[in-house]
Amino acid sequence: MTPWLLPVLFALGGVVGWLAAGRRGQGSGAVASPGLPVDPHHVLDLLRRAHGAAFACLVRGDGEPPLTAGGLTGAGDLSERVTATARVALGDRRQHVIRDPHTIVAVGDGDHGVALAWIGTAVAPDATDAALADQRALLAGVRAASARRWVPKPAATGIQAASVPEALESVAFVLCEAARAASECATAIVLRDPGTLAATIVAVSHDADRRLIRSPVAPDSVAGRACMGDVPIVGTSGKELFGQLRADRRRRDEQGVAFPLHDGRQGVGALVVFGRPDQLGGAVQQRLVSLAEENGPRLAIAAAIRAAETRAQTDELTGSWNRRALDRIMQLDQSAECALLLVDLDHFKKLNDSLGHAAGDAALRHVARVFRSTLREQDLAARVGGEEFALWLPSTSVERAREVAERVRQAVGGAKLYWAGAELSITCSVGVAAKPATVGQTANLYSAADAALYRAKESGRNRVEVALPSR
């Protein structure tokens, strides 16, 4: 046992107070334990720091929100994967070690699950083994303390039913891992958007090709038809399974079976199990069908919540994010470097007055498409005013932001838009602000970029200006 874990185990009473009480009637402050007031978040953070991990989480089997420590800025959806892996470990009572593309270790005992995550894969096997040993010690202490407190234990199943809204990626990944454990094959989840009915791959198991995530699924493909059908359908290639393949897909001859996911009579998606269909025995197929039947409604609820959240944060005209989404992302930022670009379409009022609002709307949609094709996947484009857009660039230096701004300006000016048989000339002005080069706090980026945008417009438009460093 590592010396770091000793204070963790001494503090277990505080964690069990959180576990036993379900945090009912308690705030976010310290949780009392016999003779030792302890903040459970700090306890979990001790375990995280003991092993040099970036993120840690502890989950319960009754659907209470997870306890987390640390942060994963710039690591995409890793925190959701870590939490989902902890839930999988909770359900199957096994240890899990994942190294793609980051390192996650998790262990569970049927009542609780704990997971640690490191950025990247350069974590030695003996380090993961030590982390797993300490995680087991943590769970053993929780069990012992729970028994002393006579805490009733909920029955554990393969996948836990949640009493609180769950993140879509978390639900999908947990189902992927449960299906992988049942079939010993890589798996994926395809979901249909409740509004557009377009199908997309939303999750894959840890041993599957993660480049599949967010790939569109053709309606006439095996997975697309399974989304609307009632029986499993066999596919003999990746193209047949999904209808479309990215150019860099390596496993082009992937076989698999798509199991329909339903919410009542409504088809919501498909569980895809890769591999030769004849290798799935009758008992395995029945288990997969049961998993699909049990979890279709959960995925439907999570997808509906996600769709509602997306609508609330989306600009209806352009399909870009709106100011609410931008503010939320910026408030969550904890990175050392980030940048914000404010983009204003030049002479937009003149275009609206001369050609009408329909032409102006077409120009706004056109520019939004240019942004989507120009920016990186992790960047965010939001419409924040009539003809004004904000481009959020995480983990970006001021020099790189200046290059991106110039590329955006050139892309807008070079993209052709035709209206009523005539080509419209559209240019833009861009103001750039970055942390820490021009401002010290993320909250000050907007005003700094706005001042730089004003200078760009005053200097003749169709140009980029960088905010002056704040004093």
pLDDT in tens, 329-376: 888 887 889 999 999 999 999 998 999 999 999 999 999 999 999 998
**Under 8 Å between Cβ of 113 and 107:** yes
- Stretch among 194-198, 211-215, 419-423, 454-458 having the lowest mean pLDDT: 194-198
Lowest mean pLDDT among 38-42, 73-77, 249-253: 249-253
* Token pair belonging to 263: 């919410």
Share of the chain above pLDDT 90, in %: 42
Residues of the chain with CATH 3.30.450.240: 5-148
Residues forming beta bridges with residue 428, ordered by sequence position: 345
- Poorest-pLDDT segment among 76-90, 211-225, 247-261: 247-261
- The percent of residues above 70 in pLDDT, for the chain, comes to 82
> 3-class SS at 260?
strand
* Distance, CA of 184 to CA of 41 (rounded, Å): 35
For the domain spanning 5-148, the CATH number is 3.30.450.240
Instruction: Considering only residues 93 and 192, tell me which one the structure prediction assigns the higher pLDDT.
Output: 192
Give CATH 3.30.70.270 domain extents, the chain: 321-466
**pLDDT at residue 62 tops 80:** no
Q: How many CB atoms lie within 10 A of CB 279?
A: 12
pLDDT band at 301 (very low <50, low <70, confident <90, very high): confident
CATH classification of 168-312 is 3.30.450.40, yes or no? yes
**How far apart are the C-alpha atoms of 56 and 115, rounded to whole Å?**
6
How far is it, in rounded angstroms, from Cα 236 to Cα 437?
54
- Nearest to 439, CA basis, from 345, 366, 357, 337: 337
pLDDT reported for residue 176: 92
Residue 429 reports pLDDT greater than 50? yes
Query: Tens of pLDDT along 68-118?
Result: 888 765 555 678 888 888 888 887 778 888 887 789 999 988 788 899 999
In this prediction the pTM is: 0.56
Rg (alpha carbons) of the chain, rounded to whole number: 25
H or E stretch including 191?
strand 187-192
Using DSSP's 3-state secondary structure scheme, residue 370 falls into helix
* Choice between 309 and 348, residue whose per-residue pLDDT is larger: 348
Task: For residue 264, give every residue at least 6 positions away whose Cβ sits within 8 Å of its Cβ, in sequence order, or none.
Answer: 297
Query: Alpha-carbon distance 328 to 363, whole Å?
Result: 27
Give residue 3's pLDDT: 45
Q: What's residue 150's pLDDT?
A: 36
pLDDT at position 161 is: 40
CA distance 386 to 163: 41
Q: Which residue did the predictor score with more confidence, 362 or 50?
A: 362
Q: Does residue 258 register a pLDDT over 80?
A: yes
Say yes or no to pLDDT of 29 above 90.
no
CATH superfamily of 321-466: Reverse transcriptase/Diguanylate cyclase domain (3.30.70.270)
